[in-house]
Amino acid sequence: MTSHDIEVMRVGAAQILRFNRPVKKNALTGPMYAALADALEQGERDSRLAVHVFLGSGGVFTAGNDIGEFLASSSDDGTTLMSVLRFINLLPRIEKPMIAGVEGLAVGVGATLLFHCDMVLATSDARFQTPFVDLGLVPEAGSSLLMPQRLGYARAFEMLVLGHVMSAERMREAGLVNAIVEAAELEAAVLKVATALAAKPPEALRLARALMRGDTKAVSRRVEEEAEIFAQRLRSPEAREAFQAFLEKRPPEFKRG
């Protein structure tokens, strides 16, 4: 599956996956998830490829899942959700390093995918947000496990439940972001890391990464548990109201009791 909203490029031994739908802040649609999953799978099979790189465009990483598609997916045949799940299920199974260069907004899956990356470089204006609960949803992509592990429970709760926006500096202090770089330098800095990784002995790199990741089955299990609840929540009155409100550019009104 290809989608022109995902640009797939090779630079040396790096595969660049670029979110490229700037008019919608690079919000991800079913075909975009399918294109990402295809590229990751092909890249994993290609022995010439050393590293996967995620980048945004138009000064934004990604505003997360397309909310219009969330709303439609609560009544469609499930095709969109299948593409989302295929991509998300793949993340803990990737064996080659993944690096991200984050400029501007990284929302929803744009933030949770970073917890599967090996290195994250960000600009000082990068903003990280996971407003799942505000949307009537639950955390996804293993974030209910990985974020408390990486950030500590309190910071993870602040992000995953309160939906607080985190700055690049806060994420650097918390250990998610390796370095903050100028926007004009971001892609060159990310490619420099990719080139350094590509120069490593491939088998030693693979084994070292696998040892550092440990048993990823627990992450995969959590991704599946989350996905089951997430799929139910998509159809909930709370989520539908939150999606409608976003699309109608008004505050949501949630019923209590």
Site residues, ligand COA (CB under 6 A): 24-25, 27, 63-68, 105, 107-108, 131-132, 135
Nearer to ligand COA among residue 68 and residue 148 (C-beta): 68
Residue among 5, 60, 7 nearest 29 (CA): 5
Nearer to ligand COA among residue 12 and residue 68 (C-beta): 68
Least Å distance, CB 135 to ligand COA, is: 6
Least Å distance, CB 243 to ligand COA, is: 9
Nearer to ligand COA among residue 106 and residue 193 (C-beta): 106
Least Å distance, CB 41 to ligand COA, is: 24
Which residues, other chains included, contact 45 with Cβ-Cβ below 8 Å and sequence gap of 6+?
none
Nearer to ligand COA among residue 15 and residue 83 (C-beta): 83
Q: Which position has the token pair 């709303």?
A: 71
Nearer to ligand COA among residue 35 and residue 198 (C-beta): 35
Least Å distance, CB 184 to ligand COA, is: 21
Closest residue to ligand COA, based on beta-carbon distance: 108
Whole-angstrom distance, CA of residue 140 vs CA of residue 25: 20
Residue 112 DSSP symbol = H
Least Å distance, CB 234 to ligand COA, is: 11
Q: 51, exposed or middle or buried, with CB in 10 Å at 0-12, 13-18, 19+?
A: buried
Nearer to ligand COA among residue 32 and residue 37 (C-beta): 32
How many other β-carbons are positioned within 10 Å of the β-carbon of residue 25?
20
> In what side-by-side order are the strands of the sheet with 166-167?
105-107, 127-129, 166-167
Least Å distance, CB 109 to ligand COA, is: 7
| DSSP per residue, 209-241 | HHHHH--THHHHHHHHHHHHHHHHHHTSHHHHH
